[in-house]
Amino acid sequence: MAWATDLTRISNLRFNRLRNRLLLFYFLAITAILVFFATTIYVLVSRDRQQQFDQQLQQIGTSAAGIWEVVHHEYEELTTEPEYAAYRRTLPRDRQGQLLPIALVQLMAKYQTDTAPPLVRGTLLDTTYGIAWYTPTRELLIYEGILFNLPLPDQIPAEGLFVSRDKTRSFLQPIYKALPQSGQELLGYVAVTGTLAELKTELDHLRTNLFLGVVLVAGFVVVAGWWLTRQSIAPVDASLAQLKQFTADASHELRTPLTAIQASAEVLQSHPERIHPSDIEKVSAIATAATRMGHLVKDLLLIARLDAQAPDQRGWHVIDLDELLEDLVELHRDRAQAAQLALTYQPQATAKVYGDAEQLQRLFANLLSNALQYTPAGGIVTVTLQQTGKTAVVRVQDNGIGIAPVDLPHVFERFWRTEEARHHYRDGSGLGLAIAKTIVERHHGQISVQSQPHQGTCFEVKLPC
């Protein structure tokens, strides 16, 4: 249902669609901008937090590399000094009796007791980080924290290497000792590993808040857009209403003088002896012009009434399309024969629709009249009736002058005619198809056209049975 821009219900379906489309475009544009900015904020914050996380890993790794010599010295002292033999026997070993990697707290506990203390993981670090010290042969010696079981890659550059695995990220750095003559000596490696769970939780929270923010602002946009559309369309609505009223009033007022002109012209034509021979053609032109203007005024009045009035279904009833179309074809058969055209009706169903009989008759009369008008002598005009499910399908097809593909989107516009149509038939007003489309829409149907230049045109009308 369209959102009204004033207290008056507007019956013009095309105007309602235009108003709704404006609101939809406004909403989509603002939402797209909000999504773009929210995505940009998320990407920037995510990248910034990732860089901070990497910097923190690198700082811890640099600090851990700085104490490598101390850690290695303490480990050699533990494994070689006889005074620590009793303590060494309490440390964990593999099946072959080889000493397993030990925690930093176990390494430093040799100064306090002869028995290894119970392993308390994360003594120096929280549970989100872990540090591991390796020998030059990549054997793990000492670790701290719970995140230390990391296989080293084959190549680790001197400046360090970041590695992501599962939900963790590690910084690996080789440890070198400068030598006076030979440059530098590889002492070992240090690996700092951090869990991404906390960072992921933080980014998920940010993403959720941004999403809720976009939804909330989009809701405000709908309300604000409705109000703005109401304010911006109100003058257009008022102008359109005035234009409709003017068209209806002008069409109604023109009927009286046109009727007088037509009557006077007919009287003069019925008594040619009273007319000067040089004025006979002028009177005939006046009569023709008056008749053409009468049709135009009649069309304008009809389309103005269709625009101004909401569909009144009190006068609607069930209509047999087969009978209606058959009567129309018979009504136009003399015209077709006079134009040397073959007019046929091919009913394949007896569909019934609910609607206004006068309007439906005008709808198909316009389509049939167009087909006869723009089909050269010797052509064929065919009217078919089918029923597909709960839809009645009427086709009016000819092999006339056709319509260029570039002109097809405009055929239902008011007062619009192709150049070839104007050349072929100058008396047309360009309102017939516009009236047909309006009638179809008021009956909740659809109308479409297919055409090729100089091959013919087919209008298809679908109405609910």
Residues 179 and 40 in one domain: yes
94 located within any domain: yes
Say what the pLDDT of residue 155 is.
Answer: 87
Say what the pLDDT of residue 174 is.
Answer: 92
Domain housing 407:
316-464
404 located within any domain: yes
Q: Tell me: pLDDT of 8 over 50.
A: no
Say what the pLDDT of residue 358 is.
Answer: 83
Residues 181 and 44 in one domain: yes
What tokens appear for 247 in the block? 């068209």
Say what the pLDDT of residue 172 is.
Answer: 92
| Total of domains in the chain | 2
In this structure, are residues 371 and 381 in contact, taking their beta carbons and an 8 Å threshold?
yes
Q: What are the backbone angles phi and psi of residue 136, rounded to the nearest 5°?
A: -60, -25
Last residue of one domain, picked from the residues 154, 184, 204? 204
Model confidence pLDDT, tens digit, residues 174-202: 998 888 776 788 889 999 988 888 888 89
- pLDDT band per the 50, 70, 90 thresholds, residue 1: very low
Q: How far is CA 15 from CA 12, 244, 300, 352, 415, in A?
A: 5, 12, 18, 30, 18
Say what the pLDDT of residue 117 is.
Answer: 58
Higher pLDDT, 288 or 35: 35
Higher pLDDT, 360 or 245: 360
E runs forming strands in 348-410: 352-355, 380-388, 391-398
133 located within any domain: yes
Say what the pLDDT of residue 6 is.
Answer: 35
CATH number of residue 436's parent domain: 3.30.565.10
395 located within any domain: yes
In this structure, are residues 311 and 11 in contact, taking their beta carbons and an 8 Å threshold?
yes
- pLDDT band per the 50, 70, 90 thresholds, residue 205: very high
Lowest mean pLDDT among 86-100, 189-203, 251-265, 342-356: 251-265
Q: Tell me: pLDDT of 126 over 70.
A: no
Question: Rounded CA gap, 442 and 342, in Å?
Answer: 32
Say what the pLDDT of residue 2 is.
Answer: 35
In this structure, are residues 42 and 210 in contact, taking their beta carbons and an 8 Å threshold?
yes
Q: Tell me: pLDDT of 419 over 80.
A: no
DSSP 333: H
Model confidence pLDDT, tens digit, residues 51-81: 999 999 999 888 888 888 888 888 888 888 8
Strand partners, 193: 130, 170
In this structure, are residues 99 and 79 in contact, taking their beta carbons and an 8 Å threshold?
yes
Say what the pLDDT of residue 307 is.
Answer: 60
Per cent of the chain over pLDDT 90 is 10
DSSP 115: S
Task: Give me the mean pLDDT over the 412-417 stretch.
Answer: 72
Higher pLDDT, 100 or 128: 100
Say what the pLDDT of residue 443 is.
Answer: 84
* CA distance from start to end of the chain: 23
Residues with Cβ < 8 Å from 182, sequence gap 6 or more? none
Lowest mean pLDDT among 75-79, 88-92, 209-213, 285-289: 285-289
The burial class, CB within 10 Å (0-12 / 13-18 / 19+), for 303 is buried
338 located within any domain: yes
Higher pLDDT, 391 or 231: 391
Question: Rounded CA gap, 443 and 461, in Å?
Answer: 11
CA atoms within 13 A on the CB side of 459: 25
Mean model confidence pLDDT for the chain: 79
Model confidence pLDDT, tens digit, residues 317-358: 888 888 888 888 888 888 888 888 888 888 887 888 888 888
425 located within any domain: yes
Residues 151 and 29 in one domain: yes
Last residue of one domain, picked from the residues 171, 204, 237? 204
Q: Tell me: pLDDT of 45 over 50.
A: yes
Q: How far is CA 38 from CA 2, 30, 270, 397, in A?
A: 30, 12, 81, 54
CB atoms within 10 A of CB 213: 14
Q: Which amino acid is at 97?
A: G
Closest CA to 405 of 370, 446, 447, 453: 453
> Alpha carbon 439 to chain centroid distance?
30
Higher pLDDT, 241 or 203: 203
- pLDDT band per the 50, 70, 90 thresholds, residue 93: confident
Per cent of the chain over pLDDT 70 is 73
242 located within any domain: no
Residues 190 and 42 in one domain: yes
Model confidence pLDDT, tens digit, residues 135-179: 898 888 888 887 666 788 888 898 889 988 878 889 999 998 888
